[in-house]
Amino acid sequence: MKKRAPHITLFSGGVGGAKLVDGFALLEPRANLTVIANTGDDVEQHGLWVSPDPDIVTYTLAGIVDESKGWGIAGDTFHALEALARLGEDTWMNLGDRDLATHIHRTRRRREGVRPTTIADEIARQLGVTTARILLPTDDFLRTVVETDSGTMPFEEYFLKARCEPEPRDIRYDGADKARAAPEALDALDAADMVVMAPSNPIASIGPILAVPGIREALKRCSAFRVAVSPIVGGRALKGPSDRMMRAKGYSVDPVGVASCYEGLIDALVIDEADRAYAAALEGKGLKTLVTQTVMKNRDDRARLAGEVGRAFLPDLEVGQGTG
Amino acid sequence: MKKRAPHITLFSGGVGGAKLVDGFALLEPRANLTVIANTGDDVEQHGLWVSPDPDIVTYTLAGIVDESKGWGIAGDTFHALEALARLGEDTWMNLGDRDLATHIHRTRRRREGVRPTTIADEIARQLGVTTARILLPTDDFLRTVVETDSGTMPFEEYFLKARCEPEPRDIRYDGADKARAAPEALDALDAADMVVMAPSNPIASIGPILAVPGIREALKRCSAFRVAVSPIVGGRALKGPSDRMMRAKGYSVDPVGVASCYEGLIDALVIDEADRAYAAALEGKGLKTLVTQTVMKNRDDRARLAGEVGRAFLPDLEVGQGTG
């Protein structure tokens, strides 16, 4: 009997997460993929609703992402942004002309009263994404806020405008307590054979998703095998301020700290060969481990890692090989 | 005693009007110029507030207009528009990337509650306009609507999307009866030595300005010399559907018809040499006339025409020569 394709639901932030999502999307035969993309970084810029993480995932899966940066659209120009600066707008967020179209369209649809989840799904389809469904954790307001010695600021402002320079003291998720989980996101957890926490910032990217009431509970009760891929390699974050944010939240900056971020929510942790020494400690905590090369330098790496994760933890289902 | 610089207030639509405004702006020494630009063509496109005529005047005076088209910004690209089309947006309005920045900025400021008149003035200053103040007739909703056999549509949609193909049956100014004149516009009429109706569409471009309660009365009571430049030359419109719209409103498509559009509101009419034969009829109606070359093919033409109009009707004030 032919094995069936697995339902895999990923929690993802931006650049790092999108790479692993892309890896799963590259597998043949195809898994039934769903991405729940972080909206805690959403920000209003120039009066437009910018949604960085869902866009990065969308552009990556659509094959139009600027691969050299990991975000934005390949070959984009910045003429509108230059003109906005001339008009006195604060242009700290590097929005290209083609990218702006997404924000203009999203803002228009949102003002029409269309659900953000529907808009994200529509944008992905219109840009040609066929390998995964891109969902949001909630249609409601959610904002990751970073408290620093230089003041409190939304994550994107901390990340881009302040260039992560101030030391983070705490991270909170404004609006999370009142946000309602999107039913599609809950359904995608209920239907999943495997849930994957992509190697995104556990505090700033996955944390906001888990902070939406109902998501954590769905993750606890679902029958899926739940695995996280550590974004910490060799004691530091591959990209961004994960390490400093984990430290601010009292976690050790290593695979054990990552496992603690996801305590009670994962069955396994994928760690890099550089961190092989942590495998025993993780297994002592009751977690399965997969030790492999987790740094994704190219699309081959992405598909290889995705395939390894799938085959390691879903042995009874048909998990494809990378096509790269 | 040195003559003082005159206060000149122009009513203007888009391309044709902006050329004469530019002519006055080119005069040295400078007149004290104010433009009241038509907002009846304003349209929401992609959720952004587009204001075609004030923008054309602004871009022209800022020296950044695409001279070959008469509108838009020179050298602009259309990457966002292509991306908007990919997202399913109806992109019948050809908005460039740099131009979009103006609409994004205007929309943001408007949503902040800033007066449209203030926004238009700010944009002009930020883009470097120093030769004139650009005002709006009203901060309130005003929409020029064209009734045709193929349905009723806003002017920009008639002009661009329907390419003026349906025969216009009537033109009305939605919202005009409830619009309040902007105080700056009324002040600019009260302070003027000369009021000039630029060679714009009398029905679709100047008509909406005159339809705002208070503007017509201010024009009647003001002490300025009031002159219109005919947009009809040799029995047809230099550009756009002025001729068909004048016909739809029951006016003859000639200088006498233009004079009728402005009946009781002007002291003089500037007509083209091609229409010299109408001078006697106009003078019989009590109007002064200036017969000259009114077709502005280049900036020299603009400054020459502006200088001629100024010197003909403001002989006691210092009206400059074109610098072109």
B178: which 2 tokens? 């409830």
Contacts of B81 in chain A (CB under 8 A): 101
Which residues numbered 60-99 in B keep a CB inside 8 Å of some CB on A? Answer: 73, 76-77, 79-84, 86-89, 96-99
Phi-psi region of A234 (alpha: psi -120 to 50; beta: other; left: phi over 0): left
The reply to whether residue A97 touches residue B104, judged by beta carbons under 8 angstroms, is no
* ipTM metric: 0.94
The reply to whether A101 touches chain B by the CB within 8 Å rule is yes
Contacts of A73 in chain B (CB under 8 A): 83
The CATH architecture that domain A7-313 belongs to is: 3-Layer(aba) Sandwich (3.40)
Look-up of token digits 């639509």: B13
Q: Where are the domains of chain B?
A: 7-39+130-322
Q: Which of A77, A101, A111 sits opposite B87 (nearest CB)?
A: A101
The reply to whether A300 touches chain B by the CB within 8 Å rule is no
Q: Which amino acid is at A245?
A: M
pLDDT in tens, A34-92: 999 999 999 999 999 999 999 999 999 999 999 999 999 999 999 999 999 999 999 99
Phi-psi region of A264 (alpha: psi -120 to 50; beta: other; left: phi over 0): left
Alpha helix segments (H runs only) across chain A: 15-26, 52-62, 79-86, 97-111, 116-126, 155-156, 183-190, 207-210, 215-221, 242-248, 255-261, 279-284, 299-313
Closest CA to A51 of A149, A127, A155: A155
Phi-psi region of B281 (alpha: psi -120 to 50; beta: other; left: phi over 0): alpha
Most B-contacting residue of A55, A73, A89, A105 (CB-CB within 10 A), to test interface = A105
The whole-number pLDDT of residue B324 equals 45
Please state, for a pLDDT cut of 70, what percent of chain A lies above it: 98
The reply to whether residue A86 touches residue B127, judged by beta carbons under 8 angstroms, is yes
Q: Which of B82, B89, B123 sits opposite A87 (nearest CB)?
A: B123
The answer to whether A238 and A202 have CB atoms below 8 angstroms apart is no
- SS3 at position A51: coil
Q: Which of B46, B82, B105 sits opposite A104 (nearest CB)?
A: B46
A5 pLDDT more than 90 = no
The reply to whether residue A47 touches residue B77, judged by beta carbons under 8 angstroms, is no
The answer to whether A234 and A276 have CB atoms below 8 angstroms apart is no
Closest CA to B322 of B24, B59, B57, B35: B24
The whole-number pLDDT of residue A1 equals 52
**Which residues have CB under 8 Å from B119's CB, separation 6+?**
B106, B109, B110
Measured distance CA(B127)–CA(A165) in Å, rounded? 34
Query: CA of A196, closest CA in chain B: separation in Å?
Result: 29
The reply to whether residue A101 touches residue B111, judged by beta carbons under 8 angstroms, is no
Closest CA to B237 of B168, B176, B300, B172: B168
The reply to whether residue B101 touches residue A88, judged by beta carbons under 8 angstroms, is no
Query: CA of B122, closest CA in chain A: separation in Å?
Result: 8
The reply to whether A113 touches chain B by the CB within 8 Å rule is no
The answer to whether B246 and B200 have CB atoms below 8 angstroms apart is no
pLDDT per residue rounded down to tens, chain B (324 residues):
567 889 999 999 999 999 999 999 999 889 999 999 999 999 999 999 999 999 999 999 999 999 999 999 999 999 999 999 999 999 999 999 999 999 999 999 999 999 999 999 999 999 999 999 999 999 999 999 999 999 999 999 999 999 999 999 999 999 999 999 999 999 999 999 999 999 999 999 999 999 999 999 999 999 999 999 999 999 999 888 999 999 999 999 999 999 999 999 999 999 999 999 999 999 999 999 999 999 999 999 999 999 999 999 998 877 776 654
The answer to whether B47 and B92 have CB atoms below 8 angstroms apart is no
Q: Which amino acid is at B261?
A: C
A9 pLDDT more than 70 = yes
The whole-number pLDDT of residue A323 equals 57
Query: CA of A300, closest CA in chain B: separation in Å?
Result: 29
Most A-contacting residue of B59, B64, B78, B87 (CB-CB within 10 A), to test interface = B87
Q: Quick one: fold of B7-39+130-322?
A: Rossmann fold (3.40.50)
